[in-house]
Amino acid sequence: MKSNPQASAVRVLLLLLLVSTTCALAQERRPVHITGLINDYVPLLTTVKGSPYEMHGQWSMDVDPKRGTADFTADMTMSSFGKTGTGAVDPTQPLVNPHTHHIRLRNAKITWDMTGCPPWGTPTQMGFQITKTVSQLTGNGSNGSFETDPPSSTLQVCVTGGFDIPFSVTNSNITLLFVGPATSHFGPQAIHGVVREAADSNRNDR
């Protein structure tokens, strides 16, 4: 029985295309570890005792596209300002009541768009988001005094950036937005930060 060399070549080519496509898809769906910084402030609000506050910290997110979920962690410091003799906020007296917060979201479903995310002054073009009740929200290591026990505040985390084109960064910005009891401490406004690194979780450069 004679084989058809042309047909065999076509089968080999199709097999190679299938393997390469599968590998590409698998690579795209691998978990990704994203890290960054938070630098923002809570304005002077009558609903937030001790405001205004400075906020500085770091965050990380483990994104699993295959499962469509992500885990989010943020660790940050906060401190308010002293007051003048007339009771006005004195920016020259920072670091009043310094304290720490640890924030955790676990197994949050990913929404692959930025609909409803807080806008930036310079608009971001694309992104994704997660929203879920926090699994942990501490103040100096204990459950926050502003939070229920167990925590009931929800947190929306949006990661956005520019289009996937040359000279742009697709994941560049992050916002945190609380809803619920936590707004009495962090405020109802968006908390802003930057994406520092996005690394494939199977690599050693994270």
- The answer, yes or no, to whether residue 191 has pLDDT greater than 70, is yes
Instruction: Give the pLDDT of residue 33.
Output: 96
Give residue 200's pLDDT: 62
pTM of the model: 0.81
Scan for tokens 């084109």, then name that residue: 165
pLDDT band at 206 (very low <50, low <70, confident <90, very high): very low
The span from the CA of 40 to the CA of 191, in Å, is 6
CA-to-CA distance for 54 and 181, rounded, in angstroms? 19
